[in-house]
Every structure is written in structure tokens, then in C-alpha cells.
Amino acid sequence: AQSVTQPDIHITVSEGASLELRCNYSYGATPYLFWYVQSPGQGLQLLLKYFSGDTLVQGIKGFEAEFKRSQSSFNLRKPSVHWSDAAEYFCAVGSLYGGSQGNLIFGKGTKLSVKP
Amino acid sequence: EADIYQTPRYLVIGTGKKITLECSQTMGHDKMYWYQQDPGMELHLIHYSYGVNSTEKGDLSSESTVSRIRTEHFPLTLESARPSHTSQYLCASSGFDYGYTFGSGTRLTVV
């Protein structure tokens, strides 16, 4: 069955420190992978996406993610976190030819808190 | 600038009232979705549509209904609101690249 796992429910980092949010997926077809960010009371905003090609993708707000097929992972990284990065982060997977009628499958989210 | 619009942003309504949450997009996307999300929690897909006159129920059972008479419009209706319907409702659409664009959400409180 297709699934997305974000192992960390809540992460706290100090401002200026580096960040890595983990995402693992189980998907039978070639996946499309996404990271979204959600500020409190808002909708989700797309940070970056991977379809094919270079496995290191750059996104908005200084975020990047690396697709590792052998580990079924798509971890999100940022070299230096800013207080404004505090939010909920969702990983999602989909496929043009896969299950779930082509709908994205979302992880349960990781809440990021930033310490001054 | 948002290309998908949800109204109202906030709604407080009494038990038993009928409500319609509006969602419109200007991108010409065929696929549209409704998610229910409690604060700080995961997304639950409640309805989706692949085009005009197409509607399907999602993974989470919901007492709401949807319609898709026009490509750009995907309203969600609750015939009789209950306190258990209190939640945030997010609308999204997707085009050929399968990335979703989300609206800002409607926060519904039923008292």
C-alpha cells in the first residue's frame, strides 16, 4: 500500500542552525515527491517538488530536498533556519500512473519550532 | 497571489444550519479536492473531482456533499451543521504536473 511517513512529529531547532526533516515513502510506481509548508491558520504552500532528473532539488525560502531511491526517502534541508520558518511541514507523494487515482498521499506532518 | 479562493475565511454558525463553503480557482485545473484538517493535525481527503460532473468521496467519511457544475467552482455543502463538523476545510486544485495549489482555508465553528 502507498504511504508516506514523517517520523518526527515535532522538531525544535535554534535559529541559525541547520535543519533536516525526514520523509520516507512506500510507492509502487515512479513517484512524484513534494514538500509543503503550512503556517498557522493558513493553507499549504508548495516548497519544492521532484519529478525526475537531478535528485537534489532547490525550492523557495532556501530549502532543498534530496531524493534517494535506494532509501525511499525525500528529506528536506535548510542550512540556516530563520524564526519565520516555524510552521508545519508536509511531505507528499504521487504518481502519474500509480494508485490512489493519481491523488497525492500526504504525510502526517512535522511541526517545526525555532528557538531564538 | 492566490489563484484559488475560499470563502468565507471564518464562519461561526449554529447547530442545524445549512452551510456552503465556496472554492474557486482561475487556473483551469480539472482536478479539485476538499480536505478536512483539525489544528496542527494531518490532512484528511473528504471529496475530490476530476472534472465537471465528476465527484468522488475521499478517504475520510464526511456528511458533506460537493458539486462540480463548472470547472472553476467546487463548493462543499453541509445540510445540517453539527459541533463535530468544527474544523478547518482546505480546498486544492491540481493541473498536469500533479502539484496541488491550496486555498487559504475556511475555519468552521459550529456552536
Helices (H), chain B: none
Q: Average pLDDT for residues A38-48, to the nearest whole number?
A: 91
Question: Which of A104, A110, A111, A113 best tests the B interface by mutation, with the highest count of B CBs <10 A?
Answer: A104
CB–CB of B102 and A44 under 8 A? yes
Please give the grid coordinates belonging to residue B59.
Answer: 478517504
CB–CB of B105 and A41 under 8 A? yes
First vs last Cα of chain B: how many Å apart? Answer: 33
In degrees and rounded to multiples of 5, residue A102 shows phi and psi of 80, 0
Query: In this model, does residue A100 exceed pLDDT 60?
Result: no
Name the residue facing B100 among A88, A104, A111 (closest C-beta): A104
Query: CA-to-CA distance for B96 and A14, rounded, in angstroms?
Result: 39
Residue B60's pLDDT is what? 84
Query: In this model, does residue A55 exceed pLDDT 70?
Result: yes
pLDDT in tens, B3-38: 999 999 999 999 999 999 999 999 999 999 999 999
Spatial contact of B104 and B2, defined as CB atoms under 8 Å apart: yes
Burial category of A73 from C-beta neighbours within 10 Å (exposed 0-12, middle 13-18, buried 19 and up): middle
Give buried/exposed letters for B75-95 (b at 16+ CB in 10 A, else e). bbebeebeeebebbbbbbbbe
Which segment of A4-8, A18-22, A71-75, B93-97 scores lowest on mean pLDDT? B93-97
Query: CA-to-CA distance for B32 and B108, rounded, in angstroms?
Result: 20
